[in-house]
Structure 1
Amino acid sequence: MTLPVSIRDVGVLLARIGVGIVFFAHGWQKLVTNGVDGTAAFFGQVGVPMPTASAWFATGVELLGGAALILGVAVPVVGALLTLQMIGAFAFVHAGNGLFVDQGGYELVLTLGAASLLLVAVGAGRFSLDHLLSDRRRSGAPDSAELAAAGRA
């Protein structure tokens, strides 16, 4: 039986895609526009530990994490990594600049961090690869507990 689409289903989908697009764009910017070396140089100037490794981590988490959010893959894990990324961006770059982004403030990283944390809590939603894969697992082969109960484990 197929349940009707709810406002929650659509809301999670749109939020996940919107946040994913922003993260993907920022990861792309770090990789292509600024380059990882340029990102590492900036990280070094603002005191980020291990700037080259941190630049690669930030680039990968934002680029691959953004794509994963758009597709709805591993959303709780990706959301947690992106939340940590935004905590780092807040602490090392934006905290001392006030709230507003036009002054280098933290409003964007706060919003993206909060959205990422929310996705950790609610998951990918109905319209996601996570949901599709979990449905397939539930309707597929029996798990070990089912096999044990049947005496075949």
Structure 2
Amino acid sequence: MKLPSIAQDVVLLLARIGVGIVFVAHGWQKFDTNGLDATAQGFQGMGIPSPTISAYFATGVELIGGAALILGVLTPIAGVLLAINMAGAFLFVHMPNGVFASDGGWELVAALGLAALTIAAVGPGRFSLDRLIIRTPARESVRV
């Protein structure tokens, strides 16, 4: 069974917007609500290596990468950087706490990281700035 190309592009648009909003919200929380110094202190308390650099990296990648997903611009780069960021959160913070986010577990970071990586691999779809800027031909429909 094959979904129509337009349906795939709408789903990709909705996925990019939804995942992007979550990343922007978390990046904004680190930047504005907590502040970068407080985020770095929190990272230090969690044993994250180079906590100040890590705080700036995570905040920047979540804010800029999340916005890039929403707009569909530089999508492969944004998706990979966001996935790397979530891999760090998984390895350094959430993995020992089990699966469930309510217990500090890794389910949210895994879902977000894998969603970002999937979008990077599949592409942003027709409704994206990447498509307008690069002027790529319509991609083949994915067989389901």
Q: TM-score, normalized by length of structure 1?
A: 0.84
Alignment of 1:33-112 (within 5 A): 33-112=33-112
Q: Is the partner of 1:121 in helix, strand or coil?
A: helix
Q: Please give the alpha-carbon distance, in whole angstroms, between the structure 2 residues aligned to 1:88 and 1:132.
A: 32
1:143 maps to what in 2? Answer: none
Aligned length, in residue pairs: 134
Gap runs ≥5 in structure 2: 138-144
> Which has the bigger relative contact order, CA under 8 A and spacing at least 6?
2
Alignment of 1:138-149 (within 5 A): none
Q: Please give the alpha-carbon distance, in whole angstroms, between the structure 2 residues aligned to 1:5 and 1:89.
A: 34
Q: Which has the larger radius of gyration?
A: 1
1:7 maps to what in 2? Answer: 7
Cα deviation code 1:98-138 (max 9, x no counterpart) = 10011101010000011011011111110000000112x88
Displaced runs of 4 or more, over 4 A? none
Q: What RMSD, in angstroms, separates the aligned Cα atoms of the two structures?
A: 1.4
2:142 maps to what in 1? Answer: none
Q: Please give the alpha-carbon distance, in whole angstroms, between the structure 1 residues aligned to 2:84 and 2:14.
A: 22
1:132 maps to what in 2? Answer: 132
Q: Please give the alpha-carbon distance, in whole angstroms, between the structure 1 residues aligned to 2:77 and 2:30.
A: 22
2:140 maps to what in 1? Answer: none
Q: Please give the alpha-carbon distance, in whole angstroms, between the structure 2 residues aligned to 1:8 and 1:124.
A: 10
2:27 maps to what in 1? Answer: 27
**TM-aligned CA deviation for residue 5 of structure 1:** 6.0
Q: TM-score, normalized by length of structure 2?
A: 0.90
1:146 maps to what in 2? Answer: none
